[in-house]
Chain A
Amino acid sequence: MESTLPAQQLIVCSQIQLSFTVGRKSQTVLDQLDLSVNSGQIVSLLGPSGCGKSTLLKVIAGLVDPQSGSTAIGDQLVSQRMQRTTRDRMAFVFQEPALLPWRTVWSNVMLPNELRGKANQGETIDRAKHFLNLVGLQQSDWKKLPSQLSGGMKMRASIARAMSTKPSILLLDEPFAALDDMLRSKLNDLLLTISAEEKCTMLFVTHNIGEAIYLSHEIAIMSRGKIAQMISVPFPFPRVATLRSTSEFAAFYGHVSGALNESHA
């Protein structure tokens, strides 16, 4: 029976070891790290600054190669020289919107497909339009340059761009860190909508505990280059904003916060 099948592992990192050399000193960033993420799940990487969260995301994206260990997406290995087809399954949302300032919103959203030589395909154009609408950018904004947009709108455009290539994995590196709380929770809901609609696997780096709980199936607590603990989030999907004000949420917040403190005590 289908429902009893174990969830399929999509991202598997094993024994990832990575250190940077600064001057004569070698600094370990990722230390024999293991992580697996099931298909369709949202997993948050939670930890203090400098614990290696962003580096791990770059390793999974194939932007940085570790000294040893391996990362696999399905049955394909990840590296800087990985096959185009593997890389094309992933999209990255950066800490900053990273829009090209001389391109309009529309042209920024079309950029990934343009680089893949698919900019003129009807399906691609429809998809870009769909996501621009979904993230809440009005048609009148599409012709604007990024400098004419607010910080939140730029981030929305950045998410629409990431989704425009139909990724099966979305990697997000603290995308909302610079935004205020109101906007942050709106964009959290937007991510949940996208996840439900696209069945997209998401790996979300954050140091905001509330955000990690609200978004994720599982929280990976990172400390000193390792996954210190995996915590399953007990709240069912779809999640609604009122969840944040329940006592269960507060209690679980305390639990995660405690685990976080314990991990780097």
Chain B
Amino acid sequence: MSSLTRTMLPWIVPFALSLAIAVIWHAIVTWFAIPAIVLPSPIAVLNALWQERLILLHASWVTLKASATGLLCSAVIGSLIAVVFSQSASLRMALYPYVIFLQTVPIVAIAPLLIIWSGNNFRTIVLVSTIISIFPVISNVTSGLLSVNENLRDLFRMQSATRWQLLTKLRIPAAVSQLVLGLRVSSGLSVIGAIVAEFFVGTSGDYDGLGTIMTARQANFKTAELMAALIACTALGLILFATVNLLDATLLRRWTRANGFESDK
């Protein structure tokens, strides 16, 4: 096997699989003469994707802005909450149950409430996206801040380091890799949050994200167009996930990659 084949193999195999699935899908749709309203053929979906490309691109851009802002809010607010948690055991004890509440609350149930409070707008979408994606950040960063290597902590104590020095020079840099882990999970969640919120915002206002488009297509039984929008949603999740990975490999590399402690227990 040439080295080119070997490097391309991880791309070729999944692609071949999806191609195979598309072929089977197409065969089933034609063989059983399934109505396009129930299950359109993959060709019809691709066609819809092409026909609606401008609408979808615009909608994706709107949703991307909302979910990226949501993810950013999660990263910033989540990390700040984690820092507060790392500094006080009693605050952590008092507030952590509510953070778990954020994780367990059915977002579908509170989204309508948030829309009543905050309106049919971008701000509400970002809010829902943040609420649904903040938990992995809080939980990962808190544990990253607290689980600092004992020897490194002793090293700081030997210099009579202040709490602030311990936080800024040891705990926070040590927690960056946990932040990235949390953001990887949050990136997908932030897109889900934005789209769910867009379902509720609906087509009444002047907001037109992917979720809005999907609600409209569903109402008109445009199944192929609905599936085309679904592909766009998946692409958004991938874009955010890839962005987090890119940050990890470039700007944050020093903190996330260099963690070759043998001192890690």
Q: Is A100 an interface residue (CB 8 A)?
A: yes
B-side binding surface: helix, strand, loop or mixed? Answer: helix
Shortest CB-to-CB span from A200 to chain B, Å, is: 15
Which residues of A (80-113) have their CB < 8 Å from a CB of B? 84, 87-88, 90-92, 94-98, 100-102, 111-112
Assess whether B159 is in contact with A96, with CB atoms less than 8 Å apart.
no
Q: Number of contacting residues on B, CB 8 A?
A: 25
> Could you say which residues of chain A place their CB within 8 Å of the CB of B53?
none
Instruction: Please indicate the chain A residues that have their CB under 8 angstroms from the CB of B260 in the complex.
Output: 101, 146-147
A97 in contact with B263 (CB, 8 Å): yes
Per-residue A-contact encoding for B136-174, CB less than 8 Å = 1, 0 else: 000000000000010110111111110001000110010
| Other-chain residue from B158, B173, B176 in contact with A92 (beta carbon distance below 8 A) | B158
Cβ of B152 and Cβ of A98 under 8 Å apart? Answer: yes
Which of these, A84, A87, A98, A116, contacts B155 with CB under 8 Å?
A98
Residues of the B chain whose Cβ atoms lie less than 8 Å from the Cβ of A115: 156, 159-161, 165, 169
Task: State whether A92 and B154 are in contact (beta carbons under 8 Å apart), knowing that A87-B160, A115-B169 are contacts in the complex.
Answer: yes
A96–B176 CA distance with the chains assembled, in angstroms: 22
Contact yes or no, A61 B158, CB < 8 A = yes
- Which one, B5-13, B80-88, B119-127, B251-259, is touching chain A? B251-259
- One digit per residue, 1 when the CB lies within 8 angstroms of any chain B CB and 0 when it does not, for chain A 64-81 equals 000000000000000000
Residues of A within 8 A of B159 (CB): 87-88, 111-112, 115-116, 165
Inter-chain contacts of B170 with A (CB < 8 A): 100
* Distance between Cα atoms of A112 and B156 in the complex (Å): 8
In the complex, whether B262 has a CB less than 8 A from a CB of chain A is yes
Question: Which chain A residue lies CB-closest to B149?
Answer: A98
Q: Whole-angstrom distance between the alpha carbons of A160 and B226 in the complex?
A: 64
Cα-based distance from A112 to B263 in the complex (angstroms)? 18
On chain B, the residues within 8 Å of A91 by CB distance are: 158
Contact of A100 among B152, B165, B257 (CB under 8 A): B152
Q: Give the Cβ gap from B160 to chain A, nearest Cβ, in Å.
A: 5
- Does residue A153 face the partner (Cβ distance < 8 Å to B)? no
Cβ-based interface call for B261 (8 A): yes
**When the two chains form their complex, are residues A101 and B151 in contact, meaning their CB atoms are under 8 A apart?**
no
The answer on a CB contact under 8 Å between B173 and A63 is: no
In Å, the complex CA distance between A32 and B203 comes to 79
Q: Using a CB-CB cutoff of 8 Å, which residues 38-73 of chain A contact chain B? A: 58, 61, 63
Inside 8 A of A101's CB, which chain B residues have their CB? 258-261
Question: B195 CB to closest chain A CB, in angstroms?
Answer: 36
Q: Does A134 contact B (CB under 8 A)?
A: no
Task: State A87–B260 Cα separation when bound (angstroms).
Answer: 29
List the A side residues contacting B259 at CB < 8 Å. Answer: 101, 147
Best-surrounded residue of A61, A63, A115, A145 (most CB of chain B within 10 A): A115
Chain A residues with CB under 8 A of B254: 102, 145
Q: A119-153 vs B: 1/0 string, CB under 8 Å?
A: 00000000000000000000000000111000100
Give A111 to B156 CA distance when docked, in angstroms.
Answer: 9
Q: Does A7 sit at the interface, judged by CB under 8 A?
A: no
Is A92 a contact partner of B155 (Cβ separation < 8 A)?
yes
Check B258–A90 contact: CB distance below 8 A: no
Rounded to whole angstroms, the CA-CA distance of A262 and B170 in the bound complex is 44
Q: Does A178 contact B (CB under 8 A)?
A: yes
Considering residues B161, B176, B258, B259, which has the most beta carbons from chain A within 10 angstroms of its beta carbon? B258
Closest A residue by C-beta to B158: A92
Please tell me if the beta carbons of B160 and A100 are within 8 angstroms of each other in the complex: no
B151, B155, B165, B176 pick with most chain A CB within 10 angstroms: B155
Option from A63, A95, A96 in Cβ contact (under 8 Å) with B158: A63
Q: Which of A58, A63, A96 contacts B263 (CB 8 A)?
A: A96
- Across the interface, do B154 and A100 meet the contact criterion of CB distance under 8 Å? no
Residue of B whose beta carbon sits closest to that of A171: B158
A91–B157 Cα gap in the complex (Å)? 11
- Closest residue of chain A to B265 (Cβ to Cβ) is A96
Contacts from A to B (Cβ < 8 Å): 58, 61, 63, 84, 87-88, 90-92, 94-98, 100-102, 111-112, 114-116, 145-147, 151, 154, 165, 178
Q: Given A61-B154, A87-B158, 14 more contacts at CB 8 Å?
A: A58-B154, A61-B158, A84-B160, A91-B158, A94-B263, A96-B263, A100-B152, A101-B260, A115-B160, A115-B169, A145-B254, A147-B257, A147-B258, A151-B262
Q: Which residues of B come within 8 Å of A, CB atoms?
A: 149, 151-152, 154-161, 165, 169-170, 173, 176, 254-255, 257-263
A-B contact pairs, 14 of them (CB 8 A): A58-B154, A61-B154, A87-B158, A90-B158, A94-B151, A97-B262, A98-B152, A100-B169, A111-B159, A112-B159, A115-B161, A115-B169, A146-B258, A154-B262
